[in-house]
Structure 1
Amino acid sequence: MNPVNRVTRISRPLSSALVLAALLATAACGGNSEAASGGSSSRVTLTIGDQAKNLQTLFNTSGALKGTSYNVKWAEFEGAAPLFQAVQAGAADTSYAADLPTLQALAGGVPVKAVGALHNDGTHTGIVVRDDSSVRSVKDLKGKKVVVSSAKGSIAEYLLAHVLQQAGLSYDDVKVQYLLPTDAQAAFTSGKVEAWATFGVYKAVAEQQGGRLLVNGADGRVSGYGFIGASEKALADKGKKAAIADYLRRLDTALAWSQKHPDDYAKAIQQNNGASAEVAKKLVSQANGDLLPVGPQVIDAVQKVGDTMHGIGVLTPNPTVADHVDTSLIKE
């Protein structure tokens, strides 16, 4: 079984220099996985980027990472923005994020390629309002402050922009504030935030703790696509590229396991992520299904997301998705 270490989570976006320093320091504090196992110094170490322990919980419960020929380290973050900063700093080899955060990273010059696509029904993303709010429809958001998690260019922001557009409103009709999910959750729970555009476990917990779902990402309100990315530096390394290809195969196995064992997966989320039984079951029902190649259908759908966000000034420049994919690792 491969040894696994974790890079300490970063709770707020930092400058690239600070990110690099912090990550190198925490990696040193965490120890070296090769040294801890007594393994060969020539053994490849793959540092897998994750958000809110989503992938780590899936892999640990399914056992799909057992027996790798490479070491694994986990780089855990609560949002996509600090995760991509880690990729840029060389402190993570892979990324795990929805479509718009990936586009935002590409627009910012992060040297990452989309190597696999994930898909879900969009219901994991939503705009939640406090139960006592007067907001009953998207049109009622006009003039309101809406908190978006986590940083500029998140999947939650695309949902907000898209549903405002569908309601005949402009993005300037609301006052957007960006907060990382844990900060936003505290503000929402305390009543300081009336409307919150969020995703995943944060959305599920908000609904459980007095929130009312205004709208979710189903029915095409979000693309439903996310990406596993790999840094260009890792892809240029023969050993790491082989490890990434193997990691992707194992992720496909883990996803298949989760479909067949929803109750076991929910229990693991409850235990490892601190979620209630109700929230854990909801997360499983909204989870990603298959791991897909980054083909034309995926590229076209995500490019439309980029075009929409570029049109309202959130995404600049607008990356050409097809220029930032590596289709050699996953085939149909």
Structure 2
Amino acid sequence: MKKVACAVFASVTAWAVFPTPAQAQETIRVGWTIPAEESKYWMMRRPTEFADLGKSYKIEWVQFQGTAPMVQAMAAGALDCSTQSVLSAAQGAIEANLQTYIVAQHVSEKPGSFSVYWAVKDDSPIKTVADIKGKSVGTNVFGSGILGPMAMLLKRNGIDMEKDIKLVETGFPGSEDAIRSGRVDVGVLNQPFAARAEAKGGLRKLFSLSDQQQNIVHIMEVCRKDFVDKKPELAKLYIRDITSGMKKALANRAETLKVVSEVTKAPVEVLDTYLLKPNDFARDENARPNFEGVQAMLDIYAQTGMLSRKLDVSTMRHPTMVAPIQ
């Protein structure tokens, strides 16, 4: 795994905040991806808004295409902190003995917020969850964290995800087209692609993750335990800026739209249809992790066999190194 991680790390694009002679040489290597990391995007694109960033410490930003490669890079010692889903962090702990602390949270679901959902064409004969038996169902990637709650929901409706449906990997960007073209009978929609599909019309929501579980945690910020334990003051500066970044993102939506557009290259007018609106994911204004929600997801992954054993979220919680840090 170490060799793979190093190869992944070497192939990605690094963004660095370079120091002046007066700056300290302490550097944090941070992995990031798209979408939904607004606090980090603020730190990347508006570093002068943060008192310590580029002065007391600097960040080497490394972009990845998903959370699993960041687990590999962290296990190889190539990253100090990164964005992680609950499943990828847990798999890293079990399969690679990667010990991390959950230090902040990016996005989640809560009642009234956007929830990842599966949709069909308006004229589809599929009307209920039970109707998808024998049908093709899309997912972003095989082994995705969204499949745990989905499997539990299907089980409640008499469907075995392993035996009764054909799971098709479509990716989130290609999911809408997969539904409309008939490549899948049922496809998964996530933001910003859900907003785009809804604007075009012709699709109908069938079920969402919130039908099975409330308060799902989608992505968190984690740091390697050895990094936090060896450099607590440096870790504290980073977590404080993550906290501040979330506050800035939520307090100034107009500027956040510009920041996210700069990072993702998506037009502001497209982002404006959902970003930080009620049809977007939920964000805690203090970037505070929902440890109870994380534990609930860990339990589901163990129950569905996506994890080989149970994990206790308390092993991933530092008593003080966690947002919010003011």
TM-score (norm 1): 0.76
1-structure distance, mates of 2:254, 2:91: 35
Aligned to 1:243: 234
1:326 deviates by 1.7
- Structure with greater helix share of residues: 1
Describe how 1:160-175 pairs up with structure 2 within 5 A: 160-172=150-162, 173-175=164-166
Match for 1:43: what amino acid?
Q
SS in 2 for 1:281: coil
Match for 2:273: what amino acid?
K
Structure 1 stretches of 4+ with a deviation exceeding 6 A read none
Encode CA deviations 1:85-142: one digit per residue, 9 max, x unaligned: 2222222211223333333333323332212345442524222334554333322222
Q: Would you say 1:197 and 2:179 are equivalent positions?
A: no
Match for 2:311: what amino acid?
P
Given that 2:176 and 2:193 are in contact with CA atoms closer than 8 Å, whether structure 1 keeps it comes out as: yes
Q: Which moved more, 1:315-324 or 1:63-72?
A: 63-72
2-structure distance, mates of 1:248, 1:268: 20
Going from structure 1 to structure 2, the CA distance change for 1:41 and 1:267 (only over 3 Å counts) comes to closer
Going from structure 1 to structure 2, the CA distance change for 1:331 and 1:248 (only over 3 Å counts) comes to closer
Q: Would you say 1:314 and 2:306 are equivalent positions?
A: yes
Aligned to 1:115: 103
1:53 deviates by 5.2
Unaligned runs of 5+ in 1: 1-14
Describe how 1:238-277 pairs up with structure 2 within 5 A: 238=231, 241-276=232-267, 277=269
2-structure distance, mates of 1:209, 1:274: 21
Going from structure 1 to structure 2, the CA distance change for 1:244 and 1:215 (only over 3 Å counts) comes to farther
1:264 deviates by 3.0
SS in 2 for 1:275: coil
Going from structure 1 to structure 2, the CA distance change for 1:212 and 1:274 (only over 3 Å counts) comes to farther
Aligned to 1:104: 91
Going from structure 1 to structure 2, the CA distance change for 1:299 and 1:31 (only over 3 Å counts) comes to closer
Given that 1:62 and 1:257 are in contact with CA atoms closer than 8 Å, whether structure 2 keeps it comes out as: no
Given that 1:49 and 1:74 are in contact with CA atoms closer than 8 Å, whether structure 2 keeps it comes out as: yes
1:43 deviates by 0.7
Going from structure 1 to structure 2, the CA distance change for 1:22 and 1:100 (only over 3 Å counts) comes to closer
Q: Would you say 1:52 and 2:40 are equivalent positions?
A: no
SS in 1 for 2:30: strand
2-structure distance, mates of 1:104, 1:321: 13
Q: How many residues align?
A: 308
Q: Would you say 1:231 and 2:198 are equivalent positions?
A: no
2-structure distance, mates of 1:32, 1:272: 14
SS in 2 for 1:284: coil
SS in 1 for 2:223: strand
Given that 2:216 and 2:297 are in contact with CA atoms closer than 8 Å, whether structure 1 keeps it comes out as: no
Unaligned runs of 5+ in 2: none
Given that 1:79 and 1:181 are in contact with CA atoms closer than 8 Å, whether structure 2 keeps it comes out as: no
1-structure distance, mates of 2:41, 2:88: 22
SS in 1 for 2:276: helix
1:230 deviates by 0.5
1:189 deviates by 6.6
Q: Percent identity, aligned pairs only? A: 19
Match for 1:116: what amino acid?
A
1:20 deviates by 0.8
Encode CA deviations 1:195-219: one digit per residue, 9 max, x unaligned: 2335343444454566543333346
Aligned to 2:286: 291
Match for 1:260: what amino acid?
A
Aligned to 2:141: 150
Aligned to 2:63: 76
Going from structure 1 to structure 2, the CA distance change for 1:26 and 1:104 (only over 3 Å counts) comes to closer
2-structure distance, mates of 1:186, 1:78: 21
Given that 1:19 and 1:86 are in contact with CA atoms closer than 8 Å, whether structure 2 keeps it comes out as: yes
Match for 1:17: what amino acid?
K
Given that 1:113 and 1:229 are in contact with CA atoms closer than 8 Å, whether structure 2 keeps it comes out as: yes
1-structure distance, mates of 2:313, 2:296: 10
2-structure distance, mates of 1:182, 1:33: 30
2-structure distance, mates of 1:39, 1:213: 56
Encode CA deviations 1:29-88: one digit per residue, 9 max, x unaligned: x58755xx4548961111222221543434356654464211112222232222222222
Given that 1:146 and 1:174 are in contact with CA atoms closer than 8 Å, whether structure 2 keeps it comes out as: yes
2-structure distance, mates of 1:140, 1:91: 46
Match for 1:88: what amino acid?
A
Going from structure 1 to structure 2, the CA distance change for 1:272 and 1:208 (only over 3 Å counts) comes to farther
Question: Could you say what the CA RMSD is over the residues aligned between the two structures, in angstroms?
Answer: 3.4
1-structure distance, mates of 2:153, 2:260: 30
2-structure distance, mates of 1:261, 1:57: 13
Given that 2:100 and 2:224 are in contact with CA atoms closer than 8 Å, whether structure 1 keeps it comes out as: yes
Given that 2:34 and 2:65 are in contact with CA atoms closer than 8 Å, whether structure 1 keeps it comes out as: yes
